[in-house]
Structures are given as C-alpha cells and as structure tokens.
Amino acid sequence: MRCSLSFLVYALAILLGLALDITGVLHVYGLGQLMGQKLAAGTAVGYVALAVGWVVVAFRTRPTPDNRASPPAHLGPVPLAHSWWFRRVLVLLMLLAWLATWRDVAVFLSPDPPVGFWPTMAAGGVAVALFGALVWPPPPGALLVGAAIVGVGMRLGSLACVPIEPSRGDMLPLVQQALGTLLRGASPYTTYAMPWELPLTYLPVTWLAYLPPYLLGFDIRLTNLVAELVAGAALVWLAAVRQRARVGGDWRSALRWVWHEEQGLVLWAWIFLQPSVLHWFLVTTAPVWWALLSVTLALLLAGRNGLAAGFLGLCAAASPMTAVAAPFVVLCWLRSAGWRRTVAWCGVAGGVALVCIGPFLLWSPDQFLLGTWRWFNDNQMFPQLKWETERTWAMMPGLSGLFWQSGLVGVLKPLQALLLLSLLGLFWGAQAAGWRLAPFVAAAFLLFMVVNPVLWPYLYHPALIAALFVVATLGRPCCASEDGLSHRFRVALEDTET
C-alpha cells in the first residue's frame, strides 16, 4: 500500500513538473510549432487527469502514527523513495533539465557575441558531474546543495542577458515604476506607460518585496532568487520537523536523515534547474507568491497554525490566487481545532492582509481596484483585449480558449466556483484532515486554472508547490492540527486528528 501510494505521488509530481516545464518554454525543446489550441486543450485534459490523481492520493493517504517506540528497523523511509534506481531517475531528470537550460541560455537568452569558452566549460562540467551522479548517486542533500549553487550561478549570470524592459515582459518594469512612484510620495496605484497604458496589477506584498534591492541599487530580481531559495528551505524544514515527529531526537539527527534519505529534495533540485523556472525568475513576480505559499503550507503541515495564519494573510496581500487555497485551510482548522480557534486564526490572517492592503486601498481606491481586481477579472477589459488582438488564450495551456471561441466566456467563473465547491465538499467529507490538505490544494489549483479566463503557464506552478509538500509529508505523521500558538515545537508532535 505504502509503496504503491508513494509511486503514485512521485509519478504525479514528476508528470506535473514535466508538463509545466515543457509547455512553459516550448521553443527551448524545439516544439514551438506545436503552440496552438490543440496543445492547449490537450494539456488541460492532462492537468484535469492529474487533479483527479491528487484527489485519489488524498483519499488513499492515512495519518502515520508516532512510531518512536518501535525499533529502528520499522522506521525506514518509503520503499520507493529509498531505492537507488529511483534516485537515478531523479538525477536523470536533473541532467536533462540542466542541458535544456544551458541550451536556452546559449541559444535564446545570450546576446551577441555568443557564450564564451569558460562558461561553456563550466556548463559542461556540471553536465559531467550529473552524469557521474547517475552512476554513483550522492545523497539527496548533496544534490540539492549542488543544484542550488549551480542554479544561483545560472540566474546571476543570466541577469545581464535579459535586462528588465517591457519588450521582454512588463511585470518587473511595472514593479520598478511603482517603487519609484512610491518613493516620490505618490500613490503607486496609477496608470503607467510601457509605452502601452497599464495599471499596477499586483497586490502590495508582491511589489513591496522588491523594495530592498531597489533601494540598494541592485537588480530587483535578487528578490526572486531569495524567494526561490526560501521555497526550498521550507521543504527542508518541514521534512526535518516530520522526521523529529516520527522518531524523536534532536534537529541535527533529523537534518542528517533528511540529507541522506529525503528524495523530495531532489525533486526541488530538478525544478530549480528547469529552463521554464529560469524564465519565470527573469521576467515575472511569481516567485514571491510561491515562496509565501511554500512557507504557509510548511507551517500548516507542521502544526504552527498561528504563524501559518499570519503568512496566509501575507499570501492574501500578495496574490488573489490565495482565494483558491484559503477555503481548504479554513475547513481544516474547523475540523481539527473548532470554530473558536478558527475564528481567531482567520482574524490573524485577515488582520495581516488588512494592514498590508488597507493603506493603499484608502490612498487611491479606484485605481487600486482597477489594477488588482477589475483589470484581470472583468472579462471586458484586459482579457477581451488580448483575445481580440492576439487570440492569446487559445494558445495557453487550458480550456478557456474554447470558451472564448464559442462566446461562452461568461460561463468560466461560475464553472470555477462549481469546481472549487465540489472539491471543498469532498475535502469536508474526507474529514478535512490535515494530511489531505496538500493534495487537495494541488488539485484545486489545477482545476481552477484550466478554466480561468486569463492563462499563462506559470499560473499553474502553485499546484507543483503543493505537490512537493505532498512528497515531503509522505509516510510521516501529520501535525496540521497541532496548536499553532504554542511557544515552540515539542520534540514529539502528536497527531490529534485520528
């Protein structure tokens, strides 16, 4: 049972990671000619199938009791995750991702003159090292650290190749202009020239995250780099917390086990080396929201509900996509902690969000609502413009292009609500258990996005983040109902949801 469940979880996570990477940068894989409605719809069908798979995982998952009283022989890792052949599969994925990323940099991102001798030699050295890891697989922790070093170097080296300018994407130029406007004492929520007119479409926490490097005169994408590393650190931290709950012991012992046995680290390393993720780092603000979501999920699954509520508020003040995951969190709190604590934690989340959003909403309410809500959610505005001028939504992975073509775009939002309500009903029927939270969140993000009126490949990435947390909690006790207001973790985190 455990082996078959672990196989399903890893298979779903890998398939989702492959689909997001390939469809995100078709040109890197020589598949640019496939872009169109058929590929978009076919990919969407695949995402729906993956969402169903995550729901199946949720229902097959059971809480793992605290096994510290058992002999060590009974505390081994999930069999699939422990196998060397499976680690080789993950290393192979890392190698292929690295080769694709280097091709992207050398062929598509680097300006003339072409990439020099020493960078090429360094890239070849990384490829040789990964090939060697296929033969002698190192511990997952070593692969994660190696991927982090290589990925950071690649990102820093790519900054000069891809300047922040509207022709390459207007997200980061918009943030820069908003920060400049704020520092001049004016409301950042206004209309900017790219030279096309564009309101500030991001909630405050997202664009304010870029203020430190902006003030220091650095490339603001350093914020994206920190955010990506924070997401990886959240996975490591959660895996260590779960290991302590499983066998007891100190942090050093737990981290040692994670270093040697936690295959979920290799999945993160693979994703960090993907060419699509490099693109999102270079031209989008998405990593900020991903980092906040990662920390929130880690805290929730570790039972730190008080802190998780605060970070949920930051998520809400960073991205409206928080509305997809938040209802599952609330139901989980209701089942595990009762309505009094749920109200308290919702109050914390709402208070944090209000503190972040309130000043800007009061400063220029009309422009704030135009940018953060109406611009993308009023189908007669930006969505209609992109459809009429470029037929964009017919080429992006998802089903909404079919609705745009049929004149049925008004059906999409009610359909999104119906899908989310259906999943919430299933989640509640499954006792809204903490150990089922991450797979349901992964399914929710996939189903919500396939019928979203506005589509870009990176908008599906939160589902992959949730999938990584399913892997990180596989076969370990879930502590999502632990009192999050306690002053520190106890050595043993009790499962109170059984």
Mean pLDDT of 386-402: 94
Q: Reply yes or no on whether the pLDDT at 429 is more than 90.
A: yes
Tokens of 243: 């290991």
Band of residue 195 on the pLDDT scale cut at 50, 70, 90: confident
Question: Residue 92: how many CB atoms within 10 A of its CB?
Answer: 15
User: In the predicted model, what is the mean pLDDT of the chain?
Assistant: 90
Task: Choose among 340, 341, 313, 343: nearest CA to 325.
Answer: 313
Instruction: Kindly state the percentage of the chain with pLDDT values over 70.
Output: 90
Residue 67: give the domain boundaries: 2-472
Tokens of 198: 């564009």
| Amino acid 476: pLDDT | 54
Which whole-number Å values give the CA distances from 397 to 209, 346, 449, in the listed order? 29, 34, 9
In a domain, 481, yes or no: no
| Amino acid 79: pLDDT | 52
In a domain, 477, yes or no: no
Does 279 or 484 have the greater pLDDT score?
Answer: 279
| Amino acid 64: pLDDT | 56
Instruction: Kindly state the percentage of the chain with pLDDT values over 90.
Output: 77
**Over the Cα atoms of the chain, what is R_g?**
22
Mean pLDDT of 38-62: 94
In a domain, 296, yes or no: yes
| Amino acid 201: pLDDT | 97
Which whole-number Å values give the CA distances from 18 to 1, 93, 463, in the listed order? 26, 9, 13
Q: Reply yes or no on whether the pLDDT at 123 is more than 90.
A: yes
- Cis previous bond, 113, omega within 30: yes
Q: Reply yes or no on whether the pLDDT at 482 is more than 60.
A: no
Q: How many domains does the chain have?
A: 1
Band of residue 426 on the pLDDT scale cut at 50, 70, 90: very high
Strands (E), 152-270: 191-193, 197-199
Q: Reply yes or no on whether the pLDDT at 121 is more than 80.
A: yes
Task: Choose among 395, 378, 379, 366: nearest CA to 457.
Answer: 395
| Amino acid 115: pLDDT | 76
pLDDT tens for each residue of 78-116: 455 557 788 899 999 999 999 999 999 999 988 766 778
Band of residue 495 on the pLDDT scale cut at 50, 70, 90: very low
Question: Residue 155: how many CB atoms within 10 A of its CB?
Answer: 19
Q: Reply yes or no on whether the pLDDT at 485 is more than 80.
A: no
Mean pLDDT of 244-263: 87
In sequence order, what DSSP letters do the residues of 368-401 get, joined into one string?
HHIIIIIHHH-TTTHHHHHHHHH-GGGTSSSSHH
Mean pLDDT of 12-20: 98
In a domain, 489, yes or no: no
Tokens of 241: 């917390």
In a domain, 232, yes or no: yes
Q: Reply yes or no on whether the pLDDT at 488 is more than 80.
A: no
Strands (E), 143-283: 191-193, 197-199
Task: Choose among 206, 209, 215: nearest CA to 183.
Answer: 215
pLDDT tens for each residue of 274-293: 999 999 999 999 999 999 99
Does 137 or 152 have the greater pLDDT score?
Answer: 152
Tokens of 310: 């605060």
In a domain, 51, yes or no: yes
Question: Residue 245: how many CB atoms within 10 A of its CB?
Answer: 27
Band of residue 462 on the pLDDT scale cut at 50, 70, 90: very high
In a domain, 498, yes or no: no
- Token pair 């939160």 is found at 462
In a domain, 20, yes or no: yes
Band of residue 66 on the pLDDT scale cut at 50, 70, 90: very low
| Amino acid 80: pLDDT | 57
Mean pLDDT of 166-176: 94
Tokens of 420: 């989310």
Bridge partner residues of 193 (DSSP): 197
Mean pLDDT of 253-279: 94
